[in-house]
Amino acid sequence: MSKSRPTLLLLLTLHLWLLLSIRYTAWPEMFSFPYLLNNGFVLYRDFIHPYPPLLTIVLASFYSFFGYHLILLQFFTWILILCADILICKLVFEETKRKGLALIAVAMYVVLQPILDGNMMWYDNALTLPLLLSVYYYQKQQVVKLAIDLLF
């Protein structure tokens, strides 16, 4: 995979350039819900929160540490998106053992993500990385299970 690292780095740079080229959308929920949580309100009791709570809790912790600034939310979003790029490459490579196919998968995500998801943090975007991580750990568990079955 080391020979494909420059190509992956180029794809990550392209993805970041595409995100920089389109306007960042800051949804009010990405600030208001964590703000309410940080100021003593309780999810689902004191205010209506129609989404899974993990992103709100993570953002509340993030904001309590760094403060409420739009640029920080933007960087947080970009880090999640770029981590998803890297994980897609790793997942496809682990499954197929083909570097080219892994890079094609990342290239497709780089092109489609700004079109379909846009340049914003939303609950759907935030779920991408945990879902990819769950697939990754499921793959690893399958390998361990196969090795145990072969040994015993």
Q: What is the pLDDT of residues 132-142, one digit of tens each?
A: 988 888 888 87
Find, among 58, 69, 81, the residue nearest to 26 by Cα. 69
Q: Among 7-16, 69-78, 80-89, 119-128, whose mean pLDDT is lowest?
A: 119-128
Cβ 8 vs Cβ 107: under 8 Å: no
Both structure tokens of 140: 């690893």
Rounded to two decimals, what is the model's pTM? 0.88
> pLDDT at residue 73 above 90?
yes
Q: Which residue has the tokens 């700004």?
A: 114
Q: What is the DSSP letter of 47?
A: B
**Which neighbouring-strand residues pair with 25?**
120
